[in-house]
Structure 1
């Protein structure tokens, strides 16, 4: 009986502790678990900022810079609240620590509709954020960087400012409230005393950390919201910027890889006699399949060219593995067949869709398809590793996930994670590819063969394109019903595709994926259109194709499906595509404003002049919400004499909440449109017997300068908290172009890439 009471009492106490923990706010994100390393004359005021005696302000950054301008925007957040002199700002990558964990991207991955304001959603978000603060990871992705750090980096700046003011007040013997701060200078007007930050840096570090730093009213912002040049742009212009592939530690050797041509296959053996006879050869070795990658072989040599020539000279015996039977036709048939079975997960269900469709005066149906896509980062996969004889290592890696990178490298080298120092230089593009760590584990395994010598493993463009973690292929079926007056009464959508999250869980944690995956249906179920009855679902189909996060993830293809079908509904209802959308957004003023503004700027409804060569033009429109931001785009399109699709102009309007750096927002919209347009016109990975058929840019083109449309971006003024910017510009461009092509030709294209017959 005593034991029973003890057990019950213990469980009750644990439950009470758990309840108490759940009610507390997310734990502080200002002080790291270990002090930040500092240089002589430099003082760390919290986990996000160091101030030097030379007045330099160093901002610690927990997000990777891969061309999206995030280092500049994040530094602006802290510098604003610190009232720093922008010309004194420098940046430094943050160490691994839980205060830098990405909370926002995991919270946003919960499968709730944006219109859901209920308590279940709030509680789930609250608990997820608290959990991720303790057990999450540092990550750059999901267009979440500003959203995740909007609070912490501003609080860090405000806290450091208060500590500097406190130190000055103590030294000058004046009330802290009488000291003003502006552009890195502390002033006390009554006494005439003033000093720059550097004079009080060390004293400020001894001040207590403010318990509740006071943040500025946005009306007082002088830096946030103003266009700023990116901090790294000058170095990229003059060539001094250093990417991961530019790292040159003394004695560097190079490793070139050949992976099994069949995805998931391996090398069963090789003969290196011919390779050994080539100049610069050091060693040939088998490369295992690590973190979801494909196995193969590698050669280490003294120069990149020698390594590339030697690896080609290896006589390799390949074991293709289970993917040898995979081809594009069978893959798409498998996805389509899954839609014939009623075993999908329902993400949104309102009203009685089945009854409304059965009673409808008119129904329309359509099937849409999207192929796998490669990331094609301009800097191919690479990683430099130095494994020392004492069991320590340094890894230079272009990664979006430092925690996973260190774990993968440690496992491959059989050393503790604590013995690894990770350096994250600039990334030459990411787009989600560098959320994977296969190439890092591979580089670590190769470097293990030659301890105490730094080895840079790099992939050729061909290896990169044929061994990616691709955007999932998808097939979707849409159905809509109308009443006798042509008004929509029901909307139904179901899609089929592999699950990214299921595969990632297996790759990173060795666990089987299970349950729903929001990324499969995002862009389909979480949209603002006000259907009287609606049901949207998805069927996960397991296939031996490695899939991963691709810029805008599920939104990238679901926006094409959904916005193309909405246009089809407008035609069936006998309405203008703009007017039809407007009628479905009466309770969504934010979306309505973005849509109507884009149409107005583009001159929707006004006739378009012929092109210089006499070709007719037409407009297409699309509206899509993703990563918290609402984007509308209008594309102006014509056809060349050979039926080549030409996009002349794209008008884009985005509501992303408070635009931290308007320059950065416009740049990302332009980048996302070019990226999405490349995919819409050319993007397609095809498979034959498990082997990718596209090897380089001549077979998988990107948009060229002479094909790039004029892009006009307007940012909606807002004081709301910032939302995502890096990805939301990609989803609407494909449907906007497809809808313009229908207006131009009467041909409805339901498969990507867009090809006229």
Structure 2
């Protein structure tokens, strides 16, 4: 008897829904129950096949995506994996966010992957989330360039299982052997015979899943590796895509907020009369650490917040550029340090020859996402609904429940499209504030942080100060290498904020040294981390610590090549040893970019980096323009990210990362006044404009290695490549980020 769309009493199919038909879905069975009830819902005319797939009677293939769409393309790349294995017609593929549930856990972050391929910050957040919430659903995390790596196997197995069931249903009609059938373009085919998925769906879902659903072979009629159009693009172009600020509810009001400086005291006073005089104001909010206003429109709410002129207690030691520099310098010069990586005999290496040293620094860097923190909340009886851009929906639900004083089971999170953030949308402050406001005014509240608030309260990439030293042996090869990095703790801050405990600065964690191990065959290497208390709110950003550790490493490699008298490309190539993938990236980027040796006046710089299970080499052409501003005119990247799902999306991610890296490397240094950044918006950060963007070329190197991460890969090599190009052009070595406007 056929199983209806609402029926979940499937026998063998529960294996796929609850744990997986292969290695990719068997993770953590010793820690979690083997079978979970599916909570993906099927609408009228849809048939539920497994936790990731529904097929409608009209032939639509609906894929549930467990990762947030931040602009990185997961609403296309992840469905493309399943659709390829299923044999679907891409024109009939649709996507929806997966509900919160243990089946959608990003276990890759929690320990399934090699340690050096996952940013330590995200791994630490994942470990904290499972310990804090004691549930696998808390591992629904989007970050660390892990989406394809985490879900390629589950999605491929889900597609294979559904294709097997559809083939079995068709075989019954044709009296054929189902294992001889194929699927393509949304049909099960048997020579000239064809039956559409929609016609077979209900009968197929009621069948017994075979022990080993076959995975597709061959290269014909495949979707994987094709530059398929993005599923989210049409709606973003015509404006129908809904972000958090697009939510409209009956009787909804609008809100704005303002917080005090990090490390400061509670609220001292506000001007209530001035705020209430703003037309449209409905209610004002006073809390120890933030104030807010609700009005009939957002502009009135924001004007009321400004009219309040809230005064908070000043920090005992307000953050300033000088105080940050002093804290980092003290830590670097007097701290003991913690060795986070060691290889070989450092003492012997350093005793063999002269030691070369340099000091590098990286300033505070902003997230500056296009979309500020925002959330819409509605309470109906004892039920709470929240619409928000989230990277961790289960953690967002926990924060909302905590703010409302409700059980998590009474809270529904609607994940919206995310307008950028790469770590910023892990934060839940706006959700908590919106929930508290809606509870008070008894109406749905849409809170949108102003651009000023977003800029001042950003979760900045932490600053760092480092000394890098090395010895050179025969032929100019590096024989010993040590990097000592002073940086503050970030993971403890982020997890404390997620737990609703404020987020006081904690001790430095090894995440602050991610990417510091050189990707070269150096016999003796030591990486030491020294904690520094800088009195600043920090958070997770695109590229994270790789954004400065690659700058330290690749700039110093360039310095050493000059010291050894070896051309920079050859200097790198001779030390790559078994890292043939990075070697191919370097040679490819150099050839495509017209590498000229990087001699005096060349304006070309090279840098390379291995991270997130991927490899990249970057050649840039850069110089100072007539106004003494840094101008990057060309960027040529060669990347090896293993198997590629969608080459167009991959190229876009690398291009975006390169432009992000240019903004961080050449933007304006952030100054602080009274514990708050002086910047009030993007214009104060001197970010590059579209007219300033260079010509970017991305060469994707074919590979059959497992997929690697790409979203953050383009960021790390940018700053050192620019610095190396400027050295070639001017003869002056720039060792601080941002690189500044003058040589």
Tell me which of 52, 56, 63 is aligned to 1:52.
Answer: 56
Q: CA RMSD in A?
A: 2.7
Tell me which of 574, 578, 596 is aligned to 1:605.
Answer: 596
Q: Which residue of 1 aligns with 2:312?
A: 318
For 1:86 and 1:574, the matched residues in 2 are separated by 54
For 2:431 and 2:515, the matched residues in 1 are separated by 32
Task: Classify the secondary structure of the residue corresponding to 1:657.
Answer: coil
CA contact (8 A) 1:287 1:445 kept: no
Q: How many angstroms does 1:228 deviate by?
A: 1.3
2:220 is aligned with 1:226: no
Q: Which residue of 2 aligns with 1:284?
A: 284
Q: Which residue of 2 aligns with 1:562?
A: 553
For 2:33 and 2:161, the matched residues in 1 are separated by 12
Residue 579 and residue 188 in structure 1: after superposition, are their counterparts in 2 closer, same or farther (change >3 A)? closer
For 1:26 and 1:167, the matched residues in 2 are separated by 35
Q: Which residue of 1 aligns with 2:467?
A: 477
Q: List runs of 5+ in structure 1 lacking aligned partners.
A: 1-21, 115-120, 289-294, 610-615
* Offset from partner CA, 1:503-543 (integer Å, 9 cap, x none): 22322347899887332111112x32111222111112233
| TM-score where L is the length of structure 1 | 0.88
Task: Classify the secondary structure of the residue corresponding to 2:183.
Answer: strand
Q: Which residue of 1 aligns with 2:7?
A: none
For 2:531 and 2:372, the matched residues in 1 are separated by 30
2:373 is aligned with 1:395: no
CA contact (8 A) 1:501 1:513 kept: no
Q: Which residue of 2 aligns with 1:151?
A: 153
Q: How many angstroms does 1:235 deviate by?
A: 1.4
Q: Which residue of 1 aligns with 2:663?
A: 678
For 1:201 and 1:590, the matched residues in 2 are separated by 43
2:71 is aligned with 1:67: yes
CA contact (8 A) 2:477 2:571 kept: no
CA contact (8 A) 1:466 1:692 kept: yes
Q: How many angstroms does 1:265 deviate by?
A: 4.3
Q: Which residue of 2 aligns with 1:16?
A: none
Aligned pairs for 1:480-629 (under 5 A) are 480-483=470-473, 486-509=476-499, 517-525=509-517, 527-605=518-596, 618-629=603-614
Task: Classify the secondary structure of the residue corresponding to 2:310.
Answer: strand
2:717 is aligned with 1:732: yes
Q: Which residue of 2 aligns with 1:248?
A: 248
For 1:341 and 1:220, the matched residues in 2 are separated by 63
Tell me which of 294, 300, 317 is aligned to 1:300.
Answer: 294
CA contact (8 A) 1:621 1:635 kept: yes
2:309 is aligned with 1:330: no
Q: How many angstroms does 1:734 deviate by?
A: 0.6
Residue 603 and residue 706 in structure 1: after superposition, are their counterparts in 2 closer, same or farther (change >3 A)? same
Q: Which residue of 1 aligns with 2:202?
A: 202
Residue 178 and residue 32 in structure 1: after superposition, are their counterparts in 2 closer, same or farther (change >3 A)? same
Q: Which moved more, 1:102-111 or 1:712-721?
A: 102-111
For 2:613 and 2:56, the matched residues in 1 are separated by 38
CA contact (8 A) 1:335 1:475 kept: yes
For 1:374 and 1:707, the matched residues in 2 are separated by 19
For 2:61 and 2:31, the matched residues in 1 are separated by 26
Q: Aligned residue pairs: how many?
A: 706
Task: Classify the secondary structure of the residue corresponding to 1:166.
Answer: helix
CA contact (8 A) 2:165 2:205 kept: yes
Q: Which residue of 2 aligns with 1:11?
A: none
Tell me which of 616, 619, 625 is aligned to 1:640.
Answer: 625
Tell me which of 701, 705, 713 is aligned to 1:720.
Answer: 705
CA contact (8 A) 1:263 1:691 kept: no
For 1:97 and 1:514, the matched residues in 2 are separated by 31
Q: Which residue of 2 aligns with 1:10?
A: none
CA contact (8 A) 2:488 2:507 kept: no
Q: Which residue of 1 aligns with 2:447?
A: 457
For 2:88 and 2:49, the matched residues in 1 are separated by 14
Q: How many angstroms does 1:150 deviate by?
A: 0.7
For 2:656 and 2:461, the matched residues in 1 are separated by 18
Task: Classify the secondary structure of the residue corresponding to 1:597.
Answer: helix
Task: Classify the secondary structure of the residue corresponding to 2:698.
Answer: strand
Task: Classify the secondary structure of the residue corresponding to 1:717.
Answer: coil
CA contact (8 A) 1:29 1:152 kept: no
2:743 is aligned with 1:750: no
For 1:281 and 1:77, the matched residues in 2 are separated by 49
Q: Which residue of 1 aligns with 2:21?
A: none
* Offset from partner CA, 1:249-273 (integer Å, 9 cap, x none): 1222100112114555432343311
2:689 is aligned with 1:699: no
Residue 414 and residue 209 in structure 1: after superposition, are their counterparts in 2 closer, same or farther (change >3 A)? farther
Q: Which residue of 2 aligns with 1:177?
A: 179
Q: Which moved more, 1:233-242 or 1:741-750?
A: 233-242
Residue 93 and residue 32 in structure 1: after superposition, are their counterparts in 2 closer, same or farther (change >3 A)? farther
* Offset from partner CA, 1:30-86 (integer Å, 9 cap, x none): 975234211111111000010111111110011111111111000100000110111
Residue 44 and residue 593 in structure 1: after superposition, are their counterparts in 2 closer, same or farther (change >3 A)? same
2:357 is aligned with 1:365: yes
For 2:575 and 2:635, the matched residues in 1 are separated by 24
| TM-score where L is the length of structure 2 | 0.90
* Offset from partner CA, 1:574-601 (integer Å, 9 cap, x none): 1111111011112221111111111111
Task: Classify the secondary structure of the residue corresponding to 1:325.
Answer: coil
For 1:277 and 1:395, the matched residues in 2 are separated by 30
Q: Which moved more, 1:326-335 or 1:255-264?
A: 255-264
For 1:253 and 1:470, the matched residues in 2 are separated by 30
CA contact (8 A) 1:76 1:224 kept: yes
Residue 423 and residue 510 in structure 1: after superposition, are their counterparts in 2 closer, same or farther (change >3 A)? closer
Aligned pairs for 1:13-162 (under 5 A) are 32-107=36-111, 111-112=115-116, 134=136, 136-162=138-164
Residue 557 and residue 28 in structure 1: after superposition, are their counterparts in 2 closer, same or farther (change >3 A)? same
CA contact (8 A) 2:505 2:535 kept: no
For 2:537 and 2:175, the matched residues in 1 are separated by 65
Q: Which residue of 1 aligns with 2:406?
A: 415
Q: How many angstroms does 1:278 deviate by?
A: 2.0
Q: List runs of 5+ in structure 2 lacking aligned partners.
A: 1-25
Task: Classify the secondary structure of the residue corresponding to 2:737.
Answer: coil
CA contact (8 A) 1:658 1:719 kept: yes
* Offset from partner CA, 1:68-112 (integer Å, 9 cap, x none): 111100010000011011111111111011110111223378755
Q: How many angstroms does 1:571 deviate by?
A: 1.0
Tell me which of 417, 431, 449 is aligned to 1:426.
Answer: 417
Q: How many angstroms does 1:700 deviate by?
A: 0.6
For 1:381 and 1:214, the matched residues in 2 are separated by 45
Q: Which moved more, 1:214-223 or 1:407-416?
A: 214-223
Q: Which residue of 2 aligns with 1:381?
A: 373
Residue 218 and residue 147 in structure 1: after superposition, are their counterparts in 2 closer, same or farther (change >3 A)? farther
CA contact (8 A) 2:602 2:728 kept: no
